[in-house]
């Protein structure tokens, strides 16, 4: 049981390049999400998914694209990288249902856009 | 916008002392969660308290929730140098299925000196 796995851990991009951050979970969780964390800030929600084939926008979705073709995977695509997207990105997953469920986070992906 | 706001932003104590961190939020919640983040690492879930609960304990951690004041506190007793980390509160909303979408505060940086 690996939990939530993110790759790559570190990446440097040039402005305008595109890339995909990978996220996979092996806990059969329905819900998956992507957050970004900037210096001195908490995490902000980018996109989320409530199940395969269903995605929606979070607080800061601009410049990012997601898809959810399987329960296990939830990749985050940067369409045309900008310096403002330099950040640490965290993928998270949890079971469905109401009443509160523990959310499990990956170890993070450090992205620098130059 | 960030719902949870931690106080203080930074806290420095001696080993063996207790550490108290506070979190205030603005809108009604389904649950409130506390997370810990070691420098350069992902977030680790500490404790979840539901809106109908007032206090929860887990080992040396004690969390309280006052929904009338829209505030929560995290107490770490008998602190250790290994407790040095950033601590974040995060709230989950009440609308259907939104309990998996967390809104984070900016965090409290706790330093425990040996």
CA distance A25 to chain B (A): 15
Q: Does the pLDDT value for residue A98 go beyond 50?
A: no
What's the rounded Cα separation, in Å, for the pair A86 and A13? 9
Contacts of A83 (CB under 8 A, 6+ apart): A15, A113, A114
Answer whether B31 touches A (CB < 8 Å). Answer: yes
pLDDT digit string (tens) for chain B, length 114 residues: 456 688 899 999 999 999 999 999 998 888 899 999 998 888 999 999 999 999 999 999 999 999 999 999 999 999 999 999 999 999 987 765 555 678 888 999 999 999
- How far apart, in whole angstroms, are the C-alpha atoms of residue B48 and residue B79? 20
- Cα separation, A73 vs A32, in Å, equals 9
Residue-wise pLDDT tens digits, A4-52: 999 999 999 999 999 999 999 999 999 999 999 998 778 999 999 989 9
Can you say whether residue A83 is alpha, beta or left, with left for phi > 0 and alpha for psi between -120 and 50 degrees?
alpha
Q: How close does chain A come to B52, measured CA to CA in Å? A: 10
Chain A partners of B88 at a C-beta cutoff of 8 Å?
A: 42-43
Using omega within 30 degrees of 0 as the cis cutoff, is the peptide bond preceding B8 cis? yes
Q: How much is the pLDDT for B97?
A: 54
């Amino acid at each position: 049981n690996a939990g939530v796995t993110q790759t790559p851990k570190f990446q440097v991009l040039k402005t305008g390049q595109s890339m995909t951050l990978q996220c996979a979970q092996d806990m059969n969780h329905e819900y998956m999400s992507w957050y970004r964390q900037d210096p001195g800030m908490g995490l902000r929600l980018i996109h989320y998914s409530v199940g395969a084939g269903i995605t929606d926008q979070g607080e800061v979705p601009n410049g990012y694209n997601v898809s959810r073709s399987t329960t296990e995977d939830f990749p985050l695509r940067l369409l045309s990288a900008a310096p403002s997207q330099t950040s640490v990105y965290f993928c998270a997953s949890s079971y469905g249902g109401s009443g509160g469920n523990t959310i499990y986070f990956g170890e993070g992906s450090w992205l620098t856009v130059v | 916008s960030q719902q949870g706001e931690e106080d203080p932003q930074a806290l420095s104590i001696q080993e063996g002392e207790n550490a108290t961190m506070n979190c205030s939020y603005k809108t009604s919640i389904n649950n409130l969660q506390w997370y810990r983040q070691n420098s350069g690492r992902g977030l680790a879930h500490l404790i979840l308290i539901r809106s109908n609960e007032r206090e929860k304990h887990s080992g040396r951690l004690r969390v309280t929730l006052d929904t009338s004041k829209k505030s929560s506190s995290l107490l770490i007793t008998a602190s250790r140098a290994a407790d040095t980390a950033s601590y974040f509160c995060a709230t989950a909303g009440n609308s259907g299925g939104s309990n998996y979408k967390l809104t984070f505060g900016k965090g409290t940086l706790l330093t425990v000196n040996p």
